[in-house]
Chain A
Amino acid sequence: MPVATPRLLTAEGHELRMVLQKHKARRKRKAFLLVAPLLTFVVVGFCLPILDMLRRSADNSIVEETLPRTISSLKGWDASGDSLPGERAFAALAQDLVLAQQQRRATRLGQRLNYELSGLASLFRRSGRDMEKVVLEVRSRRGSYKESLIAFDARWGELDSWRVLKRFEDEMVADYYFASLDMKRDLQSNEVSFRPSEERIYLRLFGRTVVISLGITLATLLLGFPLALWIARLPTHQGNILLVMVLLPFWTSLLVRTTSWIVLLQQQGVINDLLVAIGIVSEEGRLRMIYNTTGTVVAMTHILLPFMVLPLYSVMKTISPSYMRAAVSLGAHPISAFWKVYFPNTVPGIGAGAIMVFILSIGYYITPELVGGRTGVFISNRIAYHISSSLNWGLAAALGIALLTFVVAIYWLYDKLVGIDNIKLG
């Protein structure tokens, strides 16, 4: 026979379980309200834009929306064949273009399709502007749309113009991703293949971004480690002064710091002048230290150094000096004591600093743009170009997603190899 558990009551006579639950719920609500501003900010400022970027990187709905009749009349047409679509498609196109022009959408579609086939921007601009006249003329003489359109602009008689419409009829296409990996879909065969290696841009830029970023990470580590070590071992007030000096450049504008590097490093700059004055290099042999990879590495190492020094410093500060003393008193050589006892304790700081510097530099944009010249620019400079100059936001979004995927992959790899729990910021 089951024994009835005695009901626990509070002093006021309420059931204890319920009261506890209520209390817990209230605390949860409070906690949620506390993080709500941040949560909203992250969702609105971070998650939604990324989702929007995802959508943009595949969105192709403009074709179907602007030319619905044309797309449906092309249903039976074989784009890999050698014959133009029939009269019905031409008539549908003329009709669609007249309507599109009234809504001012023809030229916009032309811009979109110009990314796939050069020349469509002006073809759609021209056709949109004058299509009404063409249609009226065809109607009045009961002529053929096909003939009139081809007579109006010979490009309507070219197979590729029609193949583009057929190949890009879907609402979502993966072509921006192909482009971001230097691949292209052949309009006739519909096969996706890599571009010839001398025409590749993005793979090369991705590769360069990663290699230079690794170089910058290594440089900040080599420069930052001894510095952090020194600061950590100084008495607090002296250490603080040095820390302020590390942070000082951090408080100066990024542009100012970058421009000062130009003044220092250019061929007629301070460093070269000094070297020539001392006689180390000749007037003709002035070193090229900027507008190339070197410029990017030097300027960005300087800019990102605090991100390495600070986590290293705060980790080193927590390592008790007695460890080293113990090792040495037990007979270890100072170097071996440092390497075997002290250094392993700093690894979490190195991990935190390295991943921070690496991820920051992979997405860096303004410094490479100003000092990178030809060989020191990053993939982010191309993304910026597509956002603000070519207005190819789809490709920019696809490149952005590719970069994001890469960063997440690095993070995952780091977690597998080193363990993300090992990261310590202090």
Chain B
Amino acid sequence: MSRNLFVAFAAMLTLGLTACGDDDAANMEAKPAELVIVSWGGAYSASQKNAYHDPYMEKYPQVTIVNDDSSNEAVPKLRAMNEAGNVTWDLVDVVAADAIRACDDGLALEVDINDILAEAPDGTKASADFGDLLVSPCFIPQIVYSITFGYRTDLVKEPMTQLCDVFDLAKFPGKRSLEKRPIVNVEWALLCDGVDADDIYDVLSTKEGVDRALKKLDTIKSEIIWWSKGAETPQRLADGEVVVGSTYNGRLFSLIEEKKQPVAMLWDWQVFDLDGWIIPKGISEEKLEAVKHYLYFATDTQRLADQAKYISYGPARNSSAPLVGKHADLGIDMAPHMPTDPNNAKNVLLYNFDFWADKRDEIDEQFQAWLSR
């Protein structure tokens, strides 16, 4: 699957499809409703507001969309609502791993993608258009983002070009900012310990393999400052507190292009991840209809491509990729800033959702014990 997925990603921007937006595909009229849509807040919510919410409300003024920035705690809150029997959210934006969890936990509705979403302009069924990104029956993908590195160009003697430069304290001395969890870090550590990308999850499936990764991380442990919020790495880079740090590629884009900081991307072995919608289980029939109506509109080819005008995340539909244009304010071409751009995606690691769903708790315990030593 990983190869196919990669091909799909690469195909997104290389396929020179020219398609026209098919706005009036949703023929049914929206009923008056108030939709509570949960997302991440900040620049990400703003991009959704610009690309989805505002055009939708303009077209259907009888619908009001209320934003709730609770996505980072979406699953526990959904579970609490579910147990209390009072689900107040109508649509929730979550990362793929959380979608799988919510689906497993019976907190999200399973949906038939072809039934509720629009076809691609050339008539491709939605399921084929999203392809391998449909990682859970509850999940409606929206963007492809990546966790990758940014480094301070003025604090290094030569540009950082490879992932393993992060582990090279002799050549690139200074602090590193890494996320305080095993996911992604152990994969990177193994890659730089000489493990082949295809074997990573086999190695990680044993305790010894995880120990091997932690041993590699040991070599830079004293120089790591851990982060738990996505804003921390950009802040530390801006302050010069760290030389290099990992975070979501969109945050680095805004640091480099909007804030004009002396920071450059280190795309090597970026880790692809997905973000998208889930519909909470337990919402009323009317709400469900309203949500479906909204989703049909907000996840079509043009809308997904529009979001990339405001934030540097790749649209999840194959058919959206050729429509990605320029940044709305900066006027720069967005395609080269997409994680899926062929130049950036030479070495890409695909997040193995199944593996982490199974092993997350066990490896996290090992990681925490290592961390506190």
Contact = CB atoms under 8 A, between A and B. Distances in A.
B106 A107 contact: yes
B369 A114 contact: no
B354 interface: yes
A111 B104 contact: yes
A1 B361 CA distance: 84
Given A268-B240, A373-B226, A391-B76, A107 B103 contact: yes
A121 B372 contact: no
B226 A390 contact: no
Size range of the chain B interface in the assembly: 20 to 34
B31 interface: no
Contacts of B175: 267
Contacts of A125: 104, 357
A114 B239 contact: no
Contacts of A105: 106
Nearest to A266: B241
B3 interface: no
Max chain B CB contacts within 10 Å: which of A125, A198, A374?
Answer: A374
A212 B106 CA distance: 40
B225 interface: yes
Interface in A180-218: 198-201, 204-205, 208
A107 B102 CA distance: 10
Contact of B372 (A104, A269, A374, A390): A374
Contact of B358 (A119, A201, A291, A387): A119
Contacts of B215: none
Secondary structure class of chain B's binding surface, majority of residues: helix
A201 B241 contact: no
A57 B253 CA distance: 44
B196 interface: no
Given A104-B106, A107-B104, A198-B373, 16 more contacts: A105-B106, A107-B103, A108-B106, A114-B361, A118-B362, A121-B104, A121-B357, A121-B358, A198-B369, A208-B372, A291-B225, A387-B76, A388-B75, A390-B360, A390-B364, A391-B105
B373 A266 contact: no
Contacts of A118: 358-359, 361-362
A114 B358 contact: yes
A368 to B, nearest CB: 11
A197 to B, nearest CB: 10
B365 interface: yes
Interface of A: 104-105, 107-108, 110-111, 114-115, 118-122, 125, 198-201, 204-205, 208, 266-269, 291, 369, 373-375, 382, 387-388, 390-393
B103 A391 contact: no
A291 B226 contact: yes
B101 interface: yes
B76 A107 contact: no
Contacts, number: 81
B2 to A, nearest CB: 17
B244 to A, nearest CB: 15
B105 A108 contact: yes
Given A108-B104, A369-B228, A268 B241 contact: yes
B106 A392 contact: no
22 contacts: A107-B104, A108-B106, A110-B104, A111-B101, A115-B361, A121-B358, A122-B354, A125-B357, A198-B369, A199-B369, A200-B369, A205-B372, A208-B372, A268-B241, A291-B226, A374-B224, A388-B72, A388-B75, A390-B361, A390-B364, A391-B105, A392-B361
A388 B371 CA distance: 20
Contact of A391 (B75, B226, B369, B373): B75
Interface string B349-361: 0000010011111
Interface string B230-242: 0000001001110
A28 B151 CA distance: 70
Nearest to B229: A370
B161 interface: no
Interface string B42-83: 000000000000000000000000000000110110010000
Contacts of A111: 101, 104-105
A125 B354 CA distance: 10
Interface in B117-134: none
B106 A391 contact: no
Given A267-B175, A374-B372, A388-B73, A201 B357 contact: no
Contacts of B219: none
B86 interface: no
Contacts of B162: none
B343 interface: no
B366 interface: yes
A291 B245 CA distance: 15
Contacts of B357: 114, 121-122, 125
